[in-house]
């Protein structure tokens, strides 16, 4: 506090005092320059500064007390708390508190000069959060929609339009998926674009949609009351009450609620033309719920419980009064473009259909990486069942015991990337005649855009290579040596098969051109180095740790993503990654990269 008081521009109004919730707070005022200003902020703004009881480990919350400092971008619409820099950016020393007040002053100056959302900055959706309704909405499920500039064509000339919307309960995600929008003439405006597995199609519910323009009611604050939203609707000729009434009449059971989706046209960047629709839902009780509740209260049947009666009761009881708070629910745009805007293996994801053969430690990790990284349609193939002995290096766990590695992995990874289609097949390669899925597997491989071989099985590799060559499918092969000190990555070229690339690489290794010896690259272990799972029908396994495998696979995945992003070349590429056994050195080094044809 001494540092705060020492700043003559900060006027401390009352001393730090302990609040009933254990936090501490004080009030101060800071000068806002320039004054007068276009935002009509006062010359000095009073701030309530709240310190968490754990201070300094969390941030400091600052609330402007003046009525005129409301509704700005980067400000909580309900509590008016200023959205400042992440608390990690403030020093953890005596200047920490002062730092927050300085940030608040900068925020106020930006607000006064309308620089909180400068032209060209990414557009920020106004704060629709309504803490007052937490736990009171008929469902806590968030609305999940996918809207991008690609889908905006369906909406750009529909401002002020209304209609019905179908929603589906998501199966893997927790939420309600927007299935289709229908206009008043019963034409489909937009329809389902999600993977089929994502929704429980039996549990369809319906609601109403209405499309408005700017989501801000005043400054950057969204409408917070029925009166404010009604005002915005009237400007576009939309009857809000009619839409709410129609929504309440829908006999939705799972979840039992009325849904009104309010769409707003927004730009990608501040100052740009609008190019996307943001949907913010209002969740209300529907007539069924109200009827049941009233029956409980009155304990008899009455004409009042007809739809019209329920509506009149709602209106008369002030449920939709102008000052009544809008029960905004949560929504999230899960369009692929949004989900993978950060962290996408974009060049791998650009291949629409990927076949990954071999789901052992290497293949399992690779699958995890490429699927989380946005791969769209992935088919996993493996002949083995998951055993607990695999667990030390594998991404599967005991819940998948004795399940096919590929099928168990596909189930698990489906939830890591719900927008993709992940399928697993328990099969050897090539599939035997007795394999019931033989034709389907052949089709999947023939239709693939990218085949990744992690089988470590030469027969499977050759078979996949043959198909890849015939169909001109990009093919990748990956394997490690016995101690997982060398990972080999081979990628086919436009005219060079993966097997050709491997052969050329092996010749270079054999002739000593490559800085890896034959013994290191492919040498056989001594019998006493093998880890034997147990007596009986056993197979020798290799002694790499999960860290070894993750390190090497991660390095190879990044390299693969980069290679696949290069213009298609006649030549294929082979790379060798060496893992340093000395854990204090650079963990992974690319020791060989060469193009071959």
Give least dist CB 500 to other proteins, A: 5
Q: Report the residue number, 376 or 481, with the smaller CB distance to other proteins.
A: 481
φ/ψ of 181, rounded to 5, equals -105, 135
Q: Report the residue number, 201 or 466, with the smaller CB distance to other proteins.
A: 466
Whole-number Å distance between alpha carbons of 240 and 260 = 9
Give least dist CB 483 to other proteins, A: 9
Q: Report the residue number, 397 or 518, with the smaller CB distance to other proteins.
A: 518
DSSP assignment letter at 572: E
Query: Which region, judged by CB under 8 A, interacts with other proteins, from 84-92, 174-182, 198-206, 454-462?
Result: 454-462
Q: Report the residue number, 240 or 502, with the smaller CB distance to other proteins.
A: 502
Q: How many residues bind other proteins (CB under 8 A)?
A: 52
Query: Which region, judged by CB under 8 A, interacts with other proteins, from 58-66, 276-284, 327-335, 561-569?
Result: 561-569
> Of 570, 585, 591, 593, which lies in the binding site for other proteins, with binding defined by CB under 8 A?
570
Give least dist CB 381 to other proteins, A: 14
Question: In the beta sheet, which residues pair with residue 592?
Answer: 576
- Residue written as token pair 């839902």: 281
Whole-number Å distance between alpha carbons of 265 and 277 = 5
Q: Restricting to residues 464-523, which ones interact with other proteins according to CB under 8 A?
A: 466-472, 478-482, 484, 488, 492, 494-497, 499-500, 502-504, 506-507, 509-510, 518, 521-523
Whether the bond between 51 and the residue before it is cis, its omega within 30 degrees of 0, is no
Q: Report the residue number, 109 or 489, with the smaller CB distance to other proteins.
A: 489
Q: Site map for other proteins, 409-448, x if CB under 8 A?
A: ---------------------------------x---x--
Q: Which residue in 212, 240, 209, 235 sits closest to 225, CA to CA?
A: 240
Give least dist CB 38 to other proteins, A: 51
> Of 74, 180, 204, 597, which lies in the binding site for other proteins, with binding defined by CB under 8 A?
597
Q: Report the residue number, 210 or 588, with the smaller CB distance to other proteins.
A: 588
Whole-number Å distance between alpha carbons of 311 and 306 = 9
> Of 569, 587, 590, 595, which lies in the binding site for other proteins, with binding defined by CB under 8 A?
569
Q: Report the residue number, 326 or 467, with the smaller CB distance to other proteins.
A: 467
Give least dist CB 350 to other proteins, A: 16
Q: Site map for other proteins, 119-158, x if CB under 8 A?
A: ----------------------------------------
Token readout for 453 is: 């071989």
Whole-number Å distance between alpha carbons of 39 and 291 = 48
Give least dist CB 549 to other proteins, A: 8
> Of 86, 120, 534, 568, which lies in the binding site for other proteins, with binding defined by CB under 8 A?
568
Question: At a CB cut-off of 8 Å and minimum separation 6, what does 506 contact?
Answer: none
Give least dist CB 532 to other proteins, A: 15
Q: Are 558 and 489 in contact (CB under 8 A)?
A: no
Query: Which region, judged by CB under 8 A, interacts with other proteins, from 248-256, 325-333, 406-414, 562-570?
Result: 562-570
Q: Report the residue number, 232 or 555, with the smaller CB distance to other proteins.
A: 555
Q: Does 311 bind other proteins (CB under 8 A)?
A: no
Whole-number Å distance between alpha carbons of 362 and 393 = 9
Whole-number Å distance between alpha carbons of 6 and 529 = 70
> Of 177, 274, 544, 574, which lies in the binding site for other proteins, with binding defined by CB under 8 A?
544
Whole-number Å distance between alpha carbons of 74 and 144 = 24
Q: Restricting to residues 322-381, which ones interact with other proteins according to CB under 8 A?
A: 358, 360-363
Give least dist CB 571 to other proteins, A: 9
Whole-number Å distance between alpha carbons of 281 and 247 = 12
Transcribe 456-476 into DSSP letters.
--HHHHHHHHHHHHHHT-EEE
Give least dist CB 529 to other proteins, A: 12
Query: Which region, judged by CB under 8 A, interacts with other proteins, from 45-53, 243-251, 380-388, 462-470?
Result: 462-470
Whole-number Å distance between alpha carbons of 328 and 330 = 7
CA distances for 465 relative to 357, 406, 498, 522, 567, angstroms: 12, 20, 6, 20, 21
Q: Report the residue number, 298 or 510, with the smaller CB distance to other proteins.
A: 510
Q: Are 294 and 310 in contact (CB under 8 A)?
A: yes
Give least dist CB 150 to other proteins, A: 24
With 0-12 / 13-18 / 19 or more C-beta atoms within 10 angstroms meaning exposed / middle / buried, residue 354 is: buried
Give least dist CB 507 to other proteins, A: 8
DSSP assignment letter at 395: S
Give least dist CB 365 to other proteins, A: 10
Whole-number Å distance between alpha carbons of 103 and 86 = 11
Question: Looking at beta carbons, which pairs linking 413-416 to residues 24 or more positions away fall under 8 Å?
Answer: 413/367, 413/368, 413/371, 413/372, 413/378, 414/172, 414/197, 415/172, 416/368, 416/371, 416/372
Tell me the Cα Rg of the chain. Answer: 31
Whole-number Å distance between alpha carbons of 211 and 163 = 9
User: In the 3-class helix/strand/coil scheme, how is 5-44 assigned residue by residue?
Assistant: HHCCCEEEEEEEEECCCCCEEEEEEEECCCCCCCCCCCCE
Give least dist CB 469 to other proteins, A: 4
Binding site for other proteins (CB under 8 A): 358, 360-363, 442, 446, 454-458, 466-472, 478-482, 484, 488, 492, 494-497, 499-500, 502-504, 506-507, 509-510, 518, 521-524, 542, 544, 567-570, 597
């Amino acid at each position: 506090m001494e540092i705060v008081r020492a700043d003559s521009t900060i006027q401390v109004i009352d001393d730090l005092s302990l609040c009933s919730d254990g936090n501490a707070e004080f009030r101060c005022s800071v000068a806002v320059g320039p004054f007068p200003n276009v935002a009509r902020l006062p010359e000095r703004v009073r701030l309530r500064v709240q310190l968490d009881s754990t201070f300094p480990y969390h941030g400091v919350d600052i609330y402007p007390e003046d009525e005129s400092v409301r509704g700005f971008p980067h400000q909580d619409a309900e509590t008016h708390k200023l959205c400042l820099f992440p608390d990690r950016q403030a020093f953890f020393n005596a200047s920490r508190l002062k730092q927050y007040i300085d940030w608040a002053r900068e925020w106020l100056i930006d607000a006064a000069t309308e620089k909180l959302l400068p032209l060209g900055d990414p557009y920020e959706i106004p704060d629709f959060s309504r803490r007052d309704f937490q736990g009171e909405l008929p469902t806590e499920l968030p609305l999940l929609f996918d809207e991008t500039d690609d889908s905006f064509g369906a909406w750009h000339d529909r401002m002020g339009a209304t209609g019905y919307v179908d929603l589906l309960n998501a199966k893997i995600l927790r939420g309600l998926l927007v299935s289709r929008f229908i206009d008043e003439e019963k034409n489909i405006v937009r329809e389902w674009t999600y993977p089929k597995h994502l929704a429980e199609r039996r549990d369809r519910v319906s609601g109403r949609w209405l499309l408005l323009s700017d989501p801000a009611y005043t400054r950057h604050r969204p409408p917070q009351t029925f009166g404010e939203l009604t005002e915005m609707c009237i400007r576009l000729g939309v009857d809000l009450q009619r839409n709410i009434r129609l929504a309440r009449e829908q006999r939705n059971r799972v979840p039992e609620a009325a849904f009104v989706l309010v769409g707003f046209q927004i730009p990608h960047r501040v100052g740009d033309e609008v190019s996307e629709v943001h949907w913010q839902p209002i969740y209300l009780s529907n007539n069924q719920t109200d009827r049941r509740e009233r029956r409980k209260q009155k304990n008899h049947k009455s004409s009042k419980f007809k739809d019209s009666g329920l509506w009149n009761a709602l209106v008369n009881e002030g449920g939709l009064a102008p000052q009544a708070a809008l029960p905004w629910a949560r929504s999230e745009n899960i369009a692929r473009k949004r989900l993978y805007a950060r962290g996408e293996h974009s060049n791998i994801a650009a291949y629409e259909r990927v076949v990954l053969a071999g789901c052992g430690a290497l293949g399992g990790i690779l699958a995890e990486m490429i699927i989380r990284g946005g791969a769209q349609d992935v088919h996993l193939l493996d002949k083995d069942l998951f055993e607990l002995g695999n667990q030390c290096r594998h991404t599967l766990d005991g819940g998948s015991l004795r399940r096919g590695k590929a099928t168990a992995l596909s189930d698990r990874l489906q939830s890591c990337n719900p927008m993709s289609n992940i399928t697993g097949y328990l099969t050897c390669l090539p599939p035997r005649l007795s394999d019931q899925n033989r034709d389907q597997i052949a089709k999947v491989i023939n239709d693939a855009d990218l085949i990744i071989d992690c089988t470590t099985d030469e027969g499977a590799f050759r078979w996949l290579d043959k198909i890849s060559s015939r169909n001109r499918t990009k093919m990748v092969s990956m394997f490690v040596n016995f101690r997982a000190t060398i990972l080999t990555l081979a990628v086919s070229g436009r005219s060079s098969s993966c097997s050709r690339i491997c052969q050329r690489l092996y010749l270079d290794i054999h002739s000593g051109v490559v800085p890896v010896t034959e013994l290191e690259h492919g040498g056989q272990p001594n019998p006493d180095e093998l880890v034997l799972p147990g007596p009986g029908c056993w197979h020798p396994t290799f002694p790499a740790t999960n860290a070894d495998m993750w390190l090497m696979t991660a390095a190879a995945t990044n390299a693969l993503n980069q290679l696949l992003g290069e213009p298609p070349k006649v030549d294929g590429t082979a790379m060798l990654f060496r893992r340093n056994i000395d854990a204090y050195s650079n963990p992974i080094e690319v020791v060989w990269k060469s193009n071959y044809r």
